[in-house]
Amino acid sequence: MLLEAQGIVKLFGGFRAVDGADLSLNRGEIVGLIGPNGAGKSTFFNCLAGDLRPNAGRIVFDGHDLTLATPEAHARRGLARTWQVPVVFAEMAVRDNVMVGAFLRHPQARAARRKADEVLEFTGLAAQADAPAGSLGTLGRKRLEIARALATEPSLLLLDEALAGLNATETQVAIDLVRGIHARGVTLIIVEHVMSVILSLAQRAVVFNQGHVIAAGAPQAVIEDEAVIEAYLGKRFRRPVP
């Protein structure tokens, strides 16, 4: 078991954004987190990454209790994340952005640079290495976020809508990138709206609605689940038989 989250509750005032959600994850899995807007999946995700402190519940990652640990402690333990809206260091060069991540395991600048260049090559950003990160478009920024996170050499990578807002070609390139990351031995949790992405990438899908996990299992089975269809579309409308 790489990650075990039990009974996670997150309150915003009186609103129970996440209300007793569980998730356990084996090493080497790709798990998709899906659900309609406002279902609480991003909040849950932020609790896992240490950016929000859950009000109740317990998160154990790789044998360490990280329930109330800081984001930087998560990174040190090998749990990296990207953001839905990229937060790259716009004034720094692309390579320097990645080096910030690489410094976590390689305190010497030369080693960090070598690691950064390797990750840039892998993520297809090598050509833009010297450009300021602020000059990248959305696609490039999302890719840079993934590169930065990879440079911290995580065992678990959380991708928050890394593929949102991409066109069909870009999505395919991104899917290949995620597969490549998985092939390097990184376990992944992906939050995604685009169902086709979940279907082609995830081995398991976990569906959120109103702060609860309402279904979990193989993606194809999950999307045919009555409760899931109802959460997304409402109750099936029965056409009156003429």
Partner 1 sequence: MKKRHLLFVVLGILVLAWPLVLHGVFIQHVAALLVLAAISASAWNIVGGYGGQVSIGHAMFFGAGAYGALAAYTDFGWPPVAGVPLGIIAALLIAVLVGLPTFRLQGHYFSMATIAAVELLRILLSNVSVLGASVGLMGPARPRGLADLSFRSPVPYYYLFLAVLALLLVVTAWMERSRLGFYLRAIRGGERGARSLGVPVVRTKLIALMISAGFTALAGGLYALMVGFIDPESGFGLLISVKMVIIAALGGAGTLWGPLVGAAILIPLEESTNALFGGSGTGATYVVYGAIIVLISRFLPGGIAELVQLLSVKARRRAA
Please report, as ranges, the residues that interact with partner 1 according to CB under 8 A: 49, 51, 70-72, 74-76, 80-81, 83, 87-92, 96-97, 99-101, 103-104, 107, 109, 112, 148-149, 151-152
Q: How far is the CB of 8 from partner 1 (least distance, A)?
A: 19
Q: How far apart are CA 89 and CA 97, in angstroms?
A: 6
Q: Which helix (H) or strand (E) holds 178?
A: helix 168-183
Residue 211 half-sphere exposure, CB side, CA atoms within 13 Å?
Answer: 13
Site of tokens 């949102």: 164
Q: Which is nearer to partner 1, 91 or 224 (CB)?
A: 91
Q: Which is nearer to partner 1, 25 or 49 (CB)?
A: 49
Q: How far is the CB of 131 from partner 1 (least distance, A)?
A: 12
Q: Which is nearer to partner 1, 122 or 232 (CB)?
A: 122
Can you read off the two tokens belonging to residue 154? 């995580």
- Contact in structure between 70 and 50 (CB atoms under 8 Å): yes
Q: How far is the CB of 88 from partner 1 (least distance, A)?
A: 7
Q: How far is the CB of 49 from partner 1 (least distance, A)?
A: 7
Q: Which is nearer to partner 1, 76 or 182 (CB)?
A: 76
Q: Which is nearer to partner 1, 42 or 209 (CB)?
A: 42
- Three-class DSSP category at 211: coil
Question: Which of the 8 DSSP states describes residue 15?
Answer: E
Q: How far is the CB of 40 from partner 1 (least distance, A)?
A: 20
According to DSSP, the β-strands at 56-61 and 64-65 are antiparallel
Q: What is the dihedral of CA 175, 46, 144, 113, to 10 degrees?
A: -120
Amino acid identity at 171 = T
Q: How far is the CB of 95 from partner 1 (least distance, A)?
A: 11
Q: Which is nearer to partner 1, 115 or 212 (CB)?
A: 115
Can you read off the two tokens belonging to residue 103? 């410094």
